[in-house]
Amino acid sequence: MTIVNFNPQKMSFDKETKTFTVSERDVAFATTYTIINPKTGNGQIFHFVESTGPEFDPLTEWLYASFEGCVLRVVNDAKITKERASRYAIGKMNH
């Protein structure tokens, strides 16, 4: 489980849809996250639900849900995704 302190400079929250959004460049990949409100110390646990596309597509989002009805969207970063795809291809060619 990865613990993430809510930081409005790196993460947004849409009150209407109860959705947190953060870029993959600002959090380590995990199957479970806990988002903590640093002001109160309260948090929610989010479990992986689905991805919206393939791993190496820069438009892919990784969706997580909490028991409280909130959603966490971890969105791919185009530069990081391109570098990761390139390293993967090189690794596959070398084996």
Only one residue has tokens 């393939």, namely 54
Domain that holds residue 19: 2-93
pLDDT at residue 78 in the model: 77
pLDDT at residue 92 in the model: 73
Q: How far apart are CA 41 and CA 38, in angstroms?
A: 5
- The number of folded domains in the chain is 1
Q: How many CB atoms lie within 10 A of CB 45?
A: 16
Which has the closest alpha carbon to 60: 36, 84, 44?
84
Q: What is the pTM of this model?
A: 0.86
**What share of the chain in percent tops pLDDT 70?**
93
Is residue 81 predicted with pLDDT exceeding 80? no
